[in-house]
Structure formats: structure tokens, C-alpha cells
Amino acid sequence: MIDEALLQHPILLLLVLVLGFVVMDPLQMGPLGDHEFRPVKHNIAPYKQVMERWPRDNESRLGFGKLEFEDEVFGPESLEFDALGRGPYTGLADGRIVRWMGNDLGWETSKQVCAKGIDSTTHKQWKHEKKCGRPLGLRFDKESGDLYIADAYYGLLVVGPQGGLATPLSTHVEGKPILFANDLDIHKNGSIFFTDTSKRYNRVNHFFILLEGESTGRLLRYDPPTKTTHIVLEGLAFPNGLQLSKDQTFLLFTETTNCRLMKYWLEGPKNGTVELVADLPGFPDNIRINEKGQFWVAIDCCRTPAQEILSHNPWI
């Protein structure tokens, strides 16, 4: 019997009791102690099925790439170039948006979400990022020169060609705050599509989104003429990167929790529908398009068999 085995092995019994105490956390001392945990089973494709479809890079070719700007900036997420090809521009953990000015000049602060940005090279900056925001998605309107920003704490913003402080455009939808704006793209009609990763958690607490498997993320659209924000899709599992197609008949977005790339049709007979493009071998982040109309997806980390178990049993 299990009970008899535990009694005969006091060390094993002690380990079981300690583990039970940690899991129950009656003193609420752990990171989840005061958190209302709501585990949801992930809608993720089987590990073996997915990994068999993707060729392995046994040579680790990405590891041979040149590492740029090491220890110069902290928190860069999205890269963007202006209409003149200058850049890259990127957002930092202290709310600044900086532009690379070349080897002689280095990085220049071009635009800011707020006026209190501090040195972003510290790895403890995440503790302060709520103060001045965390600009994640960046897109230039190539005609006006305006830079649109999806900020994790301040929603959708815009900065004019001359730089300076950002102006908020969309911080709420249907009367409730946007907690985690993540990425965006600009449609030819002027509308701005952007992702809101979760209705429950902000960027600092993004780990809970993955841990729970919760699906409260949304695809939103901001219409400049009416200055209104609309919900396009909801019930998404960590919607992250976003990219319009070359002809803008559809857009792609990544669902990080479910490790997949999704398509939302904007025109044609499938208008308004969603379909799966690919199950990915890791957790996707941003997505961008090249001149050929091909899509590049950045993957943060690979999937593992252990992650498969946790995905289907989030209450563990």
C-alpha cells in the first residue's frame, strides 16, 4: 500500500508533506499565494505531430549570426525603419524609442511614451516599466511620417515626425482598459489593427497567461476618423505579433500560448473568418513581411515534451 510505503520511508514522507505545503501555500508566501489561479486546458497541437513536420537545425545556424548591440539597450522588442530608410528604431524598457545613428553616434532617443524615461540598460527596469510604459509594437505611416506605438501599459499611441512625447489614441475599448497592447499594423484605409494580449494580466504578469492557458486576448481596430476602437476578435490565447498581407486582403497574428500562426480574412468570400496557418515548433512572438510577401516569425523558445504535459494539465 502507498500509505505503508510512506511510513516505512520517513524521508519520502517528509518530502511529500513539504511538497504539499508548498503547493497549498497556506501562508501565501509564494508567487501564487494571493493569486486566483484559473487553469484552462490549452488548445495546442500534439508535440510529436508538430515536431515531425519541422526540419531540425542540427547545425544551430542562428547561433552563428552576428550579435548586434549587446548590453547597449534593454528590452528591444520591435524594429522599424522610417520612410527614408533610417534606423532601426526600437522601443526600450524605460519607455524610450531610440534610433540607431551609426557606429560613431550610437543610439539616439527619438521619441518617448512619457517624460521620465531612465537608463534602460539595467536588468531591473521591469520593476519600473509601468511608470513610463513599455513600447512593444512600432509602425511608421510612410506617408505622414507618424510613428504608431503599441505600448504594453498605455495602449495605442502616436508620435509625429519631429519626435517628442507620444499622444494616446486608444486606452479603452467598450469602457474597459486595454491592459496589454502588444503589436500593430496600419491598413491602407488608415485603420490600425493591434493585439491586446489579455484582459486579466499586464506585461509584467504575462507568465500567468501561459501558466493558466487563459484565452482572453483580442484583436482590436482603431479608426482615426471616428477615434473609436472596436473588438475584431476575442477569446485568443496570448495574441502577440501582427502583420497585414502585401495586398491587405488578410492579416496574420501569432498565438503564443498555443504555438501557432493564425489568419484573419479582411476581404473576399472568407471575409471575417479565421483559419490556422501553421502549428509552430516554439512560442512565437513578432511577425513581419518581406518584399516578396513572405512572412518571418520570431520564435522565443522551442517546444518540449514536458511543456506538452503542462499544456494539457495546467492545474499541475
Residue 39 in any domain: the answer is: no
Q: 73 and 11 in one domain?
A: no
Q: 65 and 4 in one domain?
A: no
Q: What is the pLDDT of residues 250-293, one digit of tens each?
A: 999 999 999 999 999 999 999 999 999 999 999 999 999 999 99
Identify the pLDDT of residue 11.
58
Q: 62 and 145 in one domain?
A: yes
Q: How far apart are CA 86 and CA 304, in angstroms?
A: 39
Q: How far apart are CA 93 and CA 74, in angstroms?
A: 6
Q: 60 and 14 in one domain?
A: no
pTM for the full predicted model: 0.86
The Cα angle at residue 136 between residues 232 and 244, in degrees rounded to 5: 45
The cell numbers describing 221, all together, are 481596430
Q: How far apart are CA 205 and CA 209, in angstroms?
A: 8
Q: 291 and 152 in one domain?
A: yes
Residue 42 in any domain: the answer is: no
The cell numbers describing 80, all together, are 522599424
Residue 28 in any domain: the answer is: yes
Residue 133 in any domain: the answer is: yes
Identify the pLDDT of residue 243.
98
Q: 26 and 174 in one domain?
A: no
Identify the pLDDT of residue 142.
93
Q: 78 and 24 in one domain?
A: no
Q: 169 and 21 in one domain?
A: no
Q: What is the mean pLDDT of each run of 10 residues along the chain (316 residues)?
A: 44 51 52 67 85 77 79 87 94 90 89 63 69 93 96 96 92 97 97 97 90 93 98 97 98 96 98 97 95 94 77 66
Domain residues for 240? Answer: 47-312
Q: 103 and 28 in one domain?
A: no
Q: How far apart are CA 150 and CA 196, in angstroms?
A: 9
CATH of the domain at 124: 2.120.10.30
Secondary structure element (H or E) that encloses residue 296, with its range = strand 295-302
Structurally, the chain folds into a number of domains equal to 2
Q: 181 and 140 in one domain?
A: yes
Identify the pLDDT of residue 67.
81
Identify the pLDDT of residue 7.
37
Enumerate the β-bridge partners of residue 164: 111
Q: 232 and 94 in one domain?
A: yes
Secondary structure element (H or E) that encloses residue 183, with its range = strand 181-186
Residue 297 in any domain: the answer is: yes
Residue 228 in any domain: the answer is: yes
Candidates 175, 91, 78; CA nearest to 132 is: 91
Identify the pLDDT of residue 5.
45
Residue 237 in any domain: the answer is: yes
Q: 13 and 130 in one domain?
A: no
Residue 195 in any domain: the answer is: yes
Identify the pLDDT of residue 213.
87
The cell numbers describing 205, all together, are 504578469
